[in-house]
Chains A and B, each alone.
Chain A
């Protein structure tokens, strides 16, 4: 935005970041078990996973706040294992509010420049521009306790970016905010990131947030990256049951694997992911891949939820399993109504039956 036209905060050329076989143990507990991740210059990657899967640990390893036990961390090809946090040239935004309480917004933003011994006049000007970038010029004299949560995180973002770091790391920066502010700020983070072209790693446990902002999403589970890909790839082609479940909404349907294809209630669909032996499996099908059809699998409507631009209806099949059907708002299935459903011919993720 305005930044691009100002010469003082020129877009930094984003760095390449590589994590190679990174392992981290906490007193016998393995928090990271071999993380491999390459982030292209200027790329925005979201690290997505349930709480406790090691997202924060991975981010802290990259920042240098945590030492790793095995593996290498490279920024622009340079191994930074022995470079302490304060010389790694990274910007961080934390989950909890982290503004220095005894400094104004402007002083907070100036801090990184002060540490780099930038002269007072230059420092003030650049800090002002950074505050302007996050839309908070008029709050420059306020202290953290005079700002809302969203404003505090904006200042934190300005503070992290004012030094033009090589990498920007954000650890669930929006999790403490209201839903509305959260959406607003995440879009703004993305826009600023695109303008600056800074390589970014964004940690979140909110799949919607990850899909909305990232170029690529890395889904983590128990210290590993389970799948990495564009939001579309992850959503339409989840390779494992975990990803299918965690990203977006999925129906779990008991099915049979026959010759590499899934047979669900007599309908054959291609399967995703690694090949499995034939036999009973669970298939994961998106609600939008199930449709009401004139002929198909017989079902009875259980209930229907209006979701604004669409409607989701729950139906019960003959074997008593429940199924979510997504359809247009104009269709009003009544509870108890007899219907028929069919599945779209899109490949589905399969997993073992529990």
Chain B
């Protein structure tokens, strides 16, 4: 959605012209505002509710800053030790997952696009599969695999990123693929080759700069997905942000909500960044 924001104005024009004659054309300006408003309210209500909740005093029902200031109390680090560990875990997982996307998925996609175009459909199919498999089902298959993973790599948290690398596949694939399709990478790489570039230079100097938008989007989306992941971590008995939040919420719901809000805000910022990079890319300007 945000990635394609740059092309919307052009689409607007054509739809406005055909509005009168075509059934099922884009909604009018007011209809759009209403839809956006309703959806916005639906999303905003729980978030606003959460924000208000964090300022409530549970017993008296009055408003207080205590729950927020409590986070900076001298003993906070000890009190919320588990939570901070979990945040560290989730950030580690996000980093490793992004690394997997960049080191495995990106080169694979480039290779298939440039050298084995006939495998494109296969790769797409494989990358989209995880979205059709519920996390619970995924875990059933992953549990025995992880008994081996733990034996091989030890039980440290980052190994969970192997599973996350699979769950983010559809999102990361889409982000990179849409960028690949908007750039004539085949001609660009052939031009670079004819000018004396080896494959490393082709990738580093020509392809990656033109795929920056898709690669960033893939990375940020992966981070957002990993920070919000609960099912797999919980069922595999790992501690990440979401499982820790659930745990904390049972003793201190205010802190759980505060951290949920912060995580939401972080993810929101990431998505905004994707939108920004999506529209500041070179391809925003109309081709002359």
A residues within 8 Å of B by Cβ? 63, 65, 84-87, 89-92, 94, 96-98, 100-102, 111-112, 115-116, 143, 145-148, 156, 159-160, 163
**With A98-B184, A101-B210, A148-B288: A86-B196 Cβ-Cβ less than 8 Å:** yes
Q: Can you add 8 more A-B contacts, CB < 8 Å, to A86-B195, A89-B196, A115-B197?
A: A86-B193, A92-B191, A98-B184, A98-B187, A100-B191, A100-B210, A102-B209, A115-B201
Name 6 A/B residue pairs within 8 A (Cβ), A-sorted. A65-B193, A100-B188, A100-B210, A101-B210, A145-B286, A156-B191
* CB-CB nearest in chain A for B202: A86
In the bound complex, what is the Cα–Cα distance between A159 and B282 (angstroms)? 21
Nearest-CB distance from A76 to chain B (Å)?
18
Choose from B187, B188, B194, B209 the contact partner of A86 (Cβ within 8 Å): B194
Contact A160 B194 (CB under 8 A): yes
Q: Mark B254-288, 1 if CB is under 8 A from A, else 0.
A: 00000000000000000000000000001101111
Residues 46-84 of B at the A interface (beta carbon under 8 Å): none
Contact A85 B288 (CB under 8 A): no
Choose from A65, A84, A96, A101 the contact partner of B282 (Cβ within 8 Å): A101
In the bound complex, what is the Cα–Cα distance between A143 and B209 (angstroms)? 14
* CB-CB nearest in chain A for B212: A102
Nearest-CB distance from A314 to chain B (Å)?
43
* CB-CB nearest in chain A for B283: A101
Contact A98 B285 (CB under 8 A): no
Contact B190 A147 (CB under 8 A): no
With a cutoff of 8 Å between Cβ atoms, the chain A residues found around residue B286 in the complex are 145
Contact B190 A94 (CB under 8 A): yes
Choose from A91, A147, A148 the contact partner of B194 (Cβ within 8 Å): A91
**With A111-B195, A115-B201, A159-B195: A145-B285 Cβ-Cβ less than 8 Å:** yes
- Tell me which of A85, A97, A147 has the highest count of chain B C-beta atoms within 10 A of its own C-beta: A85
B residues within 8 Å of A by Cβ? 183-184, 187-188, 190-198, 201, 205-206, 209-210, 282-283, 285-288
Contact A86 B285 (CB under 8 A): no
With a cutoff of 8 Å between Cβ atoms, the chain B residues found around residue A96 in the complex are 184, 187
Contact A102 B288 (CB under 8 A): no
With a cutoff of 8 Å between Cβ atoms, the chain B residues found around residue A115 in the complex are 195-197, 201
**With A100-B188, A102-B209: A146-B282 Cβ-Cβ less than 8 Å:** no
With a cutoff of 8 Å between Cβ atoms, the chain B residues found around residue A116 in the complex are 196
Nearest-CB distance from B203 to chain A (Å)?
13
Nearest-CB distance from B286 to chain A (Å)?
8
Contact A102 B195 (CB under 8 A): no
Nearest-CB distance from A115 to chain B (Å)?
4
Contact A98 B191 (CB under 8 A): yes
With a cutoff of 8 Å between Cβ atoms, the chain B residues found around residue A84 in the complex are 193
- Tell me which of B183, B184, B193, B286 has the highest count of chain A C-beta atoms within 10 A of its own C-beta: B193
**With A101-B282, A146-B288, A147-B288: A94-B191 Cβ-Cβ less than 8 Å:** yes
Contact B193 A85 (CB under 8 A): yes
With a cutoff of 8 Å between Cβ atoms, the chain A residues found around residue B206 in the complex are 100
- Pick the 9 closest A-B CB pairs, nearest first: A115-B196, A112-B195, A92-B194, A98-B191, A85-B193, A102-B209, A98-B187, A86-B196, A86-B193
Nearest-CB distance from A67 to chain B (Å)?
13
* CB-CB nearest in chain A for B184: A96
In the bound complex, what is the Cα–Cα distance between A58 and B121 (angstroms)? 29
- Tell me which of B184, B194, B205 has the highest count of chain A C-beta atoms within 10 A of its own C-beta: B194
A-B interface contact total, Cβ < 8 Å: 74
With a cutoff of 8 Å between Cβ atoms, the chain A residues found around residue B188 in the complex are 98, 100-101
With a cutoff of 8 Å between Cβ atoms, the chain A residues found around residue B187 in the complex are 94, 96, 98
Choose from B196, B205, B288 the contact partner of A87 (Cβ within 8 Å): B196
Nearest-CB distance from A62 to chain B (Å)?
11
Nearest-CB distance from A319 to chain B (Å)?
52
In the bound complex, what is the Cα–Cα distance between A115 and B195 (angstroms)? 7
Contact B192 A100 (CB under 8 A): yes
Choose from B190, B197, B210, B285 the contact partner of A102 (Cβ within 8 Å): B210
Contact B195 A163 (CB under 8 A): yes
In the bound complex, what is the Cα–Cα distance between A29 and B188 (angstroms)? 27
Nearest-CB distance from B10 to chain A (Å)?
15
Nearest-CB distance from B85 to chain A (Å)?
42
Nearest-CB distance from B172 to chain A (Å)?
22
In the bound complex, what is the Cα–Cα distance between A143 and B287 (angstroms)? 11
* CB-CB nearest in chain B for A159: B195
Nearest-CB distance from B283 to chain A (Å)?
8
**With A115-B201, A145-B287, A147-B288: A102-B194 Cβ-Cβ less than 8 Å:** no
Nearest-CB distance from B116 to chain A (Å)?
14
Nearest-CB distance from A131 to chain B (Å)?
15
In the bound complex, what is the Cα–Cα distance between A159 and B197 (angstroms)? 13
Contact B196 A112 (CB under 8 A): yes
With a cutoff of 8 Å between Cβ atoms, the chain B residues found around residue A156 in the complex are 191
- Tell me which of A92, A96, A98, A112 has the highest count of chain B C-beta atoms within 10 A of its own C-beta: A98
In the bound complex, what is the Cα–Cα distance between A91 and B196 (angstroms)? 9
In the bound complex, what is the Cα–Cα distance between A322 and B101 (angstroms)? 68
Contact A86 B198 (CB under 8 A): yes
In the bound complex, what is the Cα–Cα distance between A246 and B104 (angstroms)? 51
With a cutoff of 8 Å between Cβ atoms, the chain B residues found around residue A90 in the complex are 194
With a cutoff of 8 Å between Cβ atoms, the chain A residues found around residue B194 in the complex are 63, 65, 85-86, 90-92, 160
In the bound complex, what is the Cα–Cα distance between A65 and B195 (angstroms)? 12
**With A102-B209, A102-B210: A86-B288 Cβ-Cβ less than 8 Å:** no
In the bound complex, what is the Cα–Cα distance between A116 and B196 (angstroms)? 7
Nearest-CB distance from A181 to chain B (Å)?
14
